[in-house]
Structure 1
């Protein structure tokens, strides 16, 4: 891809050299493979200046030669022998100085040297227009009407300043940069200066004498199609400024109409096509796919057999162009054209890519369409082209803009995790810098928190579809060279972040569950409202109803994970799989007064036996602690072990079990599902069920690894037996013990529970063990006895315990 530096500077102020600008672009991912000099006239008229003929006399030895003295601004006049019949004193002329090289029109280059012509010294050459390549006339020397000082470079007089042209190796994902505007966008972010779109404010419809109807039959292939008619145009050569722009990027000028469409394509990145309006039969454009094996003759005169998915631009009777790829021979602009219809459209990249490959056609238009253009640029480019046509070819805008756009392409909404972005980048650059880069690139910040940025990505950013792409955009503008790298090039170049990604936590925990014999299930979030109806109004309240459901069995979003898991258990039980351990990480939904609530839960189910029967041991039924131990180990892995244990509040789903509470929030529940619920789902076995509040656990998770030196002094264990009220739990005893002795008590365990006729009715006996440790010294009997006495006192005082001695 070629980009003109002069053209680029019409869109954005650049205070750097071409070489410096090229280095910036390369660092940002637009690799500048070379920077070429572009001269409108070969050689750029280097060494050719404006001079003034001071004297002119006939050569004594040649009738057709004159000996002149010419002031070329060096202080001393130069003597030049000239053979032109029209040379005379007082003229302003074009002089090729000694050692300059001339590139004549249609001839070979030659160098000017000091010489003698018929015995007279000559120090240069007074030139005709064909001799310096600015024209074809050789009737005589050029006589200029100018007040420019002698010695002024001739290129300045002719307005033939040189240009620098970037040759950019554009990668397939950077469709947004396939134009001067696209490159200017990157420079805006790199230089922190605004760019200016060409103004289209002067666009106005002169009359509506040539309306063209547009019908899109295949909106998948062509989501948007727009056009406008310009009448009274005169087709001919483009003005010099337009030809110069095109030649700079290696495009040959064709005529003023076609040149305008090419100009706008390379300026704004929006391909255009101009039809001869008189050849649009029925004044109607129909956009549709072709009939397979039909024949169409393209602009290059080649007959092509069309494919069924080729998108065609047709009139009321026949095809006129292969949409987005190549125009047709019969509908293009010719020297006789007086009215044109300018097409500006957004075509599906997939359709254009298939058509281009099938026919072996690669055009500037298809190059952009098959990578993805900007649907929001369609009308701007159309107005820009219409105004330029009026400027270079005359005419009037003779129709309203027709714009068929049934389903506008929406911006893509993404969320950027700031901490994750820093991790991927490799160092902290700050949220404000990220926001500035994204905004400069045209990506809107729609919301933000301390942890995340919510952004709206416009359609022209076709390669930005996920969070990692946003990080790439930030990093390439921030600069890969600005990322600090360890001098040893070890893995330390990656930034260190204490908080892991949710995906990593998910994997760690789910792998642990799977390693304990559980199988993962994935169920439908849409379920049957009848499951909740049995629970009455309390259960049906807040159900999220599906408005367009296809089955009465799938009419609401699930409010609980219980029923979808029971469906899986029932399915397996009916196929004689009765010993089951399954889990699911899924979402539940609830309708609130002011909106909807969506949250994730981790659910585990166990039924049947934990071990199969064998000659060595009988089968063992699943018990509460089989599931509770897995849940407690998960909470330990999540560094959420500082929980309180409470009896589960009786509900429709669970009649007995325990609840894990952290900072007043329920983080997990484990228990036996109510038999009425399981039987209603045709599951007759006992179902042990656990549910974790996954969103809360992820939010509060801290990846905290603590290493400490092994204790130098021994632990001490003491046992205690006590009788308490039957309703007291071990957790209550444990909490009293931990509150009583915070320094030395390392752990409390229960190793026996007794209920029977040897103790009073309504009572039960616990046998507890206490582990004591002092990291500074060896525990003495006196200290140990003091701790145990305080524990017994508090058990008696707070819980009414009877100590068994």
Structure 2
């Protein structure tokens, strides 16, 4: 919202300089975004002495003037009748942004005009447009007009938060400034006594409200014999100062009062209202309406309309209609001042895509108490600017009066929460400075009545905030809470989560964050069985859309959608991960709609889950690297690296049964266990699932229970000294069935617990000729080391042969031919 300093000073004696005022308003919660001088354009207007006036060929009115600017001369084409040689007048130089437009150098009838000699109206400082504005003879040519006239009016552009509709007007800001400077607030006068004619308003018009929930109050006054025309300069200047365009005296008064008092008004041509009646009701089905901007709009059925006896004439709180607007021939005016439901105006404004200054204020909550005062103020101003006679009395339909909000405020509790030492009298003074009514109780507490223009005040803490704001946040002494010196250990789950994120980022994965709300059809896309527990959704009572109707039971849906979106935009090589909660209804939980004990509630089961996703190339192609597609072992390597980074040992990867392969490819997936406890799965995503999400090519996932994983992370790490003696490696090559899980053999080797064995890993797998069909040659490399001495070759060979024999016996393996 824009407000000019000159208008503000009409309601409070401001002593602060503009920059200090901007800072004070910002600290009071009214953030000033910019401060600018609306007469800054006068810097580009200079005093010029007319040296010579020459006639222009082919024109009786235009003259070519040679003007002295002090440091140079300029030629200007001018048509003003009063321009004369020796006269000193304002010359707008090229680039000057005057209210009527930007001045440019131009060629007129083959003569160059280097600016424009201006009238006071063209300069925007009065409404005199009779001729060039004369300046004093003692003014030196070249001086800037801003310096000569000492004309300046700072304009503050203030960002008003939605909870402060009381500050969407000059009077509201002035109230805040008056409280800051401890000055009286100068309220606008609005006394129509002695200006009314004998005819009653009830003889000229009538008002009925059919929907009081949407329109709790509607007031109206009537003027006769008005003359519609241009507004006086002071009124136009006020509107221009806040960025509003003057229209005519009647419309300008309604806009002026709205900006001054915050109450939107509307003026109807009474003679264009059928039956001279106002009926406030909803539109009904299949109705349209042409608004003042000339657009025909289809109306929602529940749109609140201002109607006459036959037809709609305005959309309540938003915009009037073409069929009742003020015209030059209008002589009788009905002024509307109403209070409309903020929710109702907001709903229809959004539905129509139509936002106005009026709807902007009504949406944030109007002031039911300002309806009559604003109506009176507008009526008096219309009499002053348009003449006419004011009908006696005012129509004021008020079917739903508003109860005052009274709150009890404890002085001790206020000081405890704010960390201040205010007395009850100081608190009362601060609240009364912004028009709160305060009564002091015998126990020292305060009973505070919030004014009707403060819909945001509903609890005692709101009053405490007002006290802190008005006293100055900077003046509240800094204090520190009394806390125990005992330090609690960090929560293990949070610590492990942070480590997981750091490790995955180190492996080249990017973290993703998705909404916890998903579509109920997500499980169908993943191919989950009808009896799968992941179909036990927690339903959202009031979802934003069907795509966000339930809480997620797996992270897969969001991850696959993100992958598809990135791939569609050209990012085909993806490494993504997410760690977040999934939600499921507890098994055998009662129906939440079923009756139960008061206060009884079944909360959903929340499980923190880790999901990693990889697709595309293993690395980006370069002159040293060929583009190689990623595979199962890339994801398995990431899992092993994660376990190693977390200090988790004894991780097992075993074939995942086909019955558990809902969204992974059978035979290409593994169950992940740690110390015998199932953690999750690892594998290639089923091609059918990828096709549903529009993901081309193979993709691989690692899905684990992050909570269980955190439980497997040791609380303390054990260290071992660096070995003093060298290791010895031996290989064992065996012929195995292709269906044999090599992980089981490695696990068996470790379980042999040979004291000299340090580790075992798979070195090579070969399944081509001359290996028999259905068989594979697998080579294991086993490392041996003694902590006490250097091993002899024979000793390592003997232990290696012993292990080979045990493997061959246990797994029915053969040696190569």
- The TM-score, its normalising length taken from structure 2, stands at 0.51
Q: Partners of 2:45 and 2:19 in 1: how far apart?
A: 26
Question: 1:282: Cα distance to partner?
Answer: 0.9
Runs of 5+ unmatched residues, structure 1: 113-117, 495-805
Matched, 1:421 2:414: yes
**Are residues 318 and 126 of structure 1, via their aligned partners in 2, closer, same or farther at CA, if it must alter by over 3 Å?**
closer
Q: Partners of 1:190 and 1:156 in 2: how far apart?
A: 31
Q: Do 2:94 and 2:115's aligned partners in 1 also have CA atoms closer than 8 Å?
A: no
**Are residues 352 and 100 of structure 1, via their aligned partners in 2, closer, same or farther at CA, if it must alter by over 3 Å?**
closer
Runs of 5+ unmatched residues, structure 2: 56-61, 485-817
Q: Do 2:88 and 2:134's aligned partners in 1 also have CA atoms closer than 8 Å?
A: no
Question: 1:146: Cα distance to partner?
Answer: 6.2
What corresponds to 2:29 in structure 1?
29
Q: Partners of 2:53 and 2:353 in 1: how far apart?
A: 65
The 5 Å alignment of 1:223-622 reads 223-486=216-479, 490-492=480-482
Q: Partners of 2:259 and 2:165 in 1: how far apart?
A: 12
Q: Partners of 1:493 and 1:263 in 2: how far apart?
A: 55
Q: Do 1:48 and 1:100's aligned partners in 2 also have CA atoms closer than 8 Å?
A: no
Question: 1:273: Cα distance to partner?
Answer: 0.5
Q: Partners of 1:49 and 1:222 in 2: how far apart?
A: 54
What corresponds to 2:199 in structure 1?
208
Q: Do 1:56 and 1:88's aligned partners in 2 also have CA atoms closer than 8 Å?
A: no
Q: Do 1:93 and 1:141's aligned partners in 2 also have CA atoms closer than 8 Å?
A: no
What SS class does the counterpart of residue 41 from structure 2 fall into?
A: helix
Q: Partners of 1:321 and 1:411 in 2: how far apart?
A: 30
What SS class does the counterpart of residue 252 from structure 2 fall into?
A: helix
Which of 156, 170, 177 aligns to 1:180? It is 170
Matched, 1:44 2:34: no
Q: Partners of 2:84 and 2:286 in 1: how far apart?
A: 73
| Per-residue Cα deviation, 1:649-678 (whole angstroms, up to 9, x for no partner) | xxxxxxxxxxxxxxxxxxxxxxxxxxxxxx
Q: Do 1:37 and 1:162's aligned partners in 2 also have CA atoms closer than 8 Å?
A: yes
Q: Do 1:312 and 1:322's aligned partners in 2 also have CA atoms closer than 8 Å?
A: yes
Q: Partners of 1:202 and 1:238 in 2: how far apart?
A: 20
Question: 1:66: Cα distance to partner?
Answer: 8.7
Question: 1:94: Cα distance to partner?
Answer: 1.2
Q: Partners of 2:325 and 2:102 in 1: how far apart?
A: 37
What corresponds to 2:641 in structure 1?
none
| Per-residue Cα deviation, 1:544-572 (whole angstroms, up to 9, x for no partner) | xxxxxxxxxxxxxxxxxxxxxxxxxxxxx
Q: Partners of 1:407 and 1:459 in 2: how far apart?
A: 14
Q: Partners of 1:273 and 1:205 in 2: how far apart?
A: 21
What SS class does the counterpart of residue 166 from structure 1 fall into?
A: strand
Q: Partners of 1:7 and 1:355 in 2: how far apart?
A: 33
| Per-residue Cα deviation, 1:282-303 (whole angstroms, up to 9, x for no partner) | 1111122232333322223333
Question: 1:159: Cα distance to partner?
Answer: 7.9
Q: Partners of 1:144 and 1:300 in 2: how far apart?
A: 37
**Are residues 457 and 315 of structure 1, via their aligned partners in 2, closer, same or farther at CA, if it must alter by over 3 Å?**
same
Q: Partners of 1:249 and 1:84 in 2: how far apart?
A: 31
The 5 Å alignment of 1:35-74 reads 35-39=35-39, 43-46=40-43, 48-50=45-47
Q: Do 1:94 and 1:126's aligned partners in 2 also have CA atoms closer than 8 Å?
A: no
| Per-residue Cα deviation, 1:350-372 (whole angstroms, up to 9, x for no partner) | 22222222222221111111222
Which of 147, 168, 182 aligns to 1:192? It is 182
**Are residues 172 and 108 of structure 1, via their aligned partners in 2, closer, same or farther at CA, if it must alter by over 3 Å?**
closer
Question: 1:90: Cα distance to partner?
Answer: 6.5
What SS class does the counterpart of residue 447 from structure 2 fall into?
A: strand
Q: Do 2:290 and 2:296's aligned partners in 1 also have CA atoms closer than 8 Å?
A: yes
**Are residues 142 and 28 of structure 1, via their aligned partners in 2, closer, same or farther at CA, if it must alter by over 3 Å?**
same
What SS class does the counterpart of residue 406 from structure 1 fall into?
A: coil
**Are residues 337 and 89 of structure 1, via their aligned partners in 2, closer, same or farther at CA, if it must alter by over 3 Å?**
closer
Q: Partners of 2:392 and 2:400 in 1: how far apart?
A: 24
Bigger drift between 461-470 and 196-205 goes to 196-205
Q: Partners of 1:256 and 1:195 in 2: how far apart?
A: 27
**Are residues 493 and 46 of structure 1, via their aligned partners in 2, closer, same or farther at CA, if it must alter by over 3 Å?**
farther
**Are residues 7 and 257 of structure 1, via their aligned partners in 2, closer, same or farther at CA, if it must alter by over 3 Å?**
same
What corresponds to 1:93 in structure 2?
88
What corresponds to 2:653 in structure 1?
none
Q: Partners of 2:184 and 2:136 in 1: how far apart?
A: 38
Q: Partners of 1:426 and 1:178 in 2: how far apart?
A: 31
**Are residues 45 and 407 of structure 1, via their aligned partners in 2, closer, same or farther at CA, if it must alter by over 3 Å?**
same
The number of equivalent residue pairs is 467
Q: Partners of 1:390 and 1:148 in 2: how far apart?
A: 41
**Are residues 167 and 58 of structure 1, via their aligned partners in 2, closer, same or farther at CA, if it must alter by over 3 Å?**
closer
Question: 1:160: Cα distance to partner?
Answer: 9.7
Question: 1:213: Cα distance to partner?
Answer: 0.9
What SS class does the counterpart of residue 172 from structure 1 fall into?
A: coil
**Are residues 163 and 145 of structure 1, via their aligned partners in 2, closer, same or farther at CA, if it must alter by over 3 Å?**
closer
What corresponds to 1:2 in structure 2?
2
RMSD: 3.9
**Are residues 193 and 491 of structure 1, via their aligned partners in 2, closer, same or farther at CA, if it must alter by over 3 Å?**
same
Q: Partners of 1:464 and 1:398 in 2: how far apart?
A: 37
**Are residues 103 and 440 of structure 1, via their aligned partners in 2, closer, same or farther at CA, if it must alter by over 3 Å?**
closer
Q: Partners of 1:240 and 1:227 in 2: how far apart?
A: 27
What SS class does the counterpart of residue 117 from structure 2 fall into?
A: coil
What corresponds to 2:139 in structure 1?
150
| Per-residue Cα deviation, 1:140-192 (whole angstroms, up to 9, x for no partner) | 99555565742497857998934222111111111111111111111121111
What corresponds to 2:15 in structure 1?
15
Question: 1:446: Cα distance to partner?
Answer: 2.2
Question: 1:491: Cα distance to partner?
Answer: 2.7
What corresponds to 2:117 in structure 1?
128
**Are residues 16 and 151 of structure 1, via their aligned partners in 2, closer, same or farther at CA, if it must alter by over 3 Å?**
farther
Question: 1:405: Cα distance to partner?
Answer: 1.9
Question: 1:477: Cα distance to partner?
Answer: 1.1
- The TM-score, its normalising length taken from structure 1, stands at 0.52
Q: Partners of 1:151 and 1:180 in 2: how far apart?
A: 39
What corresponds to 2:763 in structure 1?
none
**Are residues 91 and 434 of structure 1, via their aligned partners in 2, closer, same or farther at CA, if it must alter by over 3 Å?**
same
Q: Partners of 2:255 and 2:341 in 1: how far apart?
A: 21
Question: 1:218: Cα distance to partner?
Answer: 2.1
Q: Partners of 1:67 and 1:218 in 2: how far apart?
A: 67
